[in-house]
């Protein structure tokens, strides 16, 4: 990877290029020919081995008919949505656990009382027999 290129950026933009290309029903070769780039460029971008230059990004946007923000933020927005969903699920789980804890705290004295009563009955029965 060229110096100065963030590997996470290269991977994320590569995934966004692949998703946009596939959404257009194009192969890597189709895309390469339409943007006029080297044989392995599209493959390298999509695998996160390298990242497109600004000029390549312009051509990619033109050919894929997407805005630069779409290629540069597609994966990041998906991660944000996944994190938001996970946070909402975690919040719901925490609420259910809190409700279960409260119910258990209310039920515990009753359960302990029932166990004491059963133990006393068992002792009384053993004394009779």
Terminal-residue alpha carbon distance, the chain? 86
For 20-53, what is each residue's pLDDT tens digit? 999 999 999 999 999 998 889 999 999 999 999 9
Helix (H) or strand (E) holding 117: helix 68-128
Domains, the chain: 7-78 (1.10.260.40)
CA distance 15 to 18: 5
The b/e string for 76-102 (b: 16+ C-beta within 10 A; e otherwise) is eeeeeeeeeeeeeeeeeeeeeeeeeee
pLDDT confidence band for 80 (50 / 70 / 90): low
Burial (CB count <10 Å: 0-12, 13-18, 19+), residue 23: exposed
Name which residue leads in pLDDT, 82 or 49: 49
Which tokens in the block code for residue 6? 């963030």
């Amino acid at each position: 990877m060229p110096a100065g290129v963030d590997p996470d950026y290269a991977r994320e933009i590569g995934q966004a290029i692949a998703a946009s290309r596939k959404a257009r029903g194009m192969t890597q070769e189709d895309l390469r020919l339409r943007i006029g780039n080297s044989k392995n460029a599209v493959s390298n971008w999509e695998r996160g081995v390298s990242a497109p230059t600004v000029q390549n990004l312009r051509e990619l946007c033109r050919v894929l008919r997407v805005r630069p923000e779409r290629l540069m933020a597609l994966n990041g927005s998906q991660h944000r949505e996944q994190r938001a969903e996970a946070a909402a699920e975690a919040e719901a789980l925490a609420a259910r656990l809190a409700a279960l804890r409260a119910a258990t705290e209310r039920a515990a004295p009753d359960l302990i009382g029932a166990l004491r009563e059963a133990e006393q009955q068992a002792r009384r029965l053993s004394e009779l027999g």
